[in-house]
Amino acid sequence: MAIDNIYELAALGELLEKKGLIIKQKILALAKDLKQKALPADPSRQRFTAKDNAVMEEIMEIVLHHTLTADQAKILLSRAIQLGEWGKQAVHEIPQAKA
């Protein structure tokens, strides 16, 4: 799924919640159910590992806990990606000790 589609879905969820038609916890529960139904029969064909899924669920819990909007979550995630890039660059810049 494209990142833009994810944000569109998040925006739709926020709109439905603002109108009082559904709550975020129900959206997450429905998404989890759909994900379980959509998992491929062959586990080797999964796009994400169990660890990937666990981390994503924790991130979603953080977003919900802090009641971040889709835009706020997008900014936060882009900052986290930038931190990761900086960390990767820093590791490459550290001189390697000779064994």
> Which pTM value belongs to this model?
0.43
Lowest mean pLDDT among 6-10, 29-33, 60-64: 6-10
- Identify the CA nearest to 70 among candidates 12, 23, 1: 12
Q: What are the domain boundaries of the chain? A: 3-93
In angstroms, the CA 46 to CA 3 distance is 19
* pLDDT at residue 1 tops 50: no
What is d(CA 78, CA 3) in angstroms, rounded to the nearest whole number? Answer: 12
